[in-house]
Amino acid sequence: MSHFPTTTSSLSGRERDVLQRIAAGDSNKVIARALGLSPHTVKRHVSNILDKLDLSTRAKAAVWWLTGSAGWPQNFLRTTAASASTPPSPRVPART
């Protein structure tokens, strides 16, 4: 395969939700919890995503989502904005 697909139009809304979570680095188990699905259903969505986009790995799907083929920067900004709303962990002072 020499190129990435150029559109998400063949994906369902739920498949796009799953793909966004894959690009954020979430496991199937985490995606299932976040979206209220069973892990088996998420696995099926991942398989459908890879088939529809003609990609061989979830890593390639994540790269595709984040690098612009899926409508960047809107999708990228949405995921980074969500992660930015999580407060940073408190810094522990260094011991002297």
Q: Which domains, ranges and CATH numbers included, belong to the chain?
A: 13-69 (1.10.10.10)
46's CB contacts (< 8 A; 6+ apart) are 18, 22, 28, 58, 61
Q: What does the alpha-carbon distance between residue 27 and residue 35 come to, in Å, rounded to a whole number?
A: 12
Helix, strand, coil percent values for the chain (each to nearest 5): 55, 0, 45
Mean pLDDT of 24-35: 96
- The residue among 30, 31, 22, 35 whose CA lies nearest residue 75 is 22
Share of the chain above pLDDT 70, in %: 61
Mean pLDDT of 4-12: 69
- Quick check: 88 pLDDT over 90? no
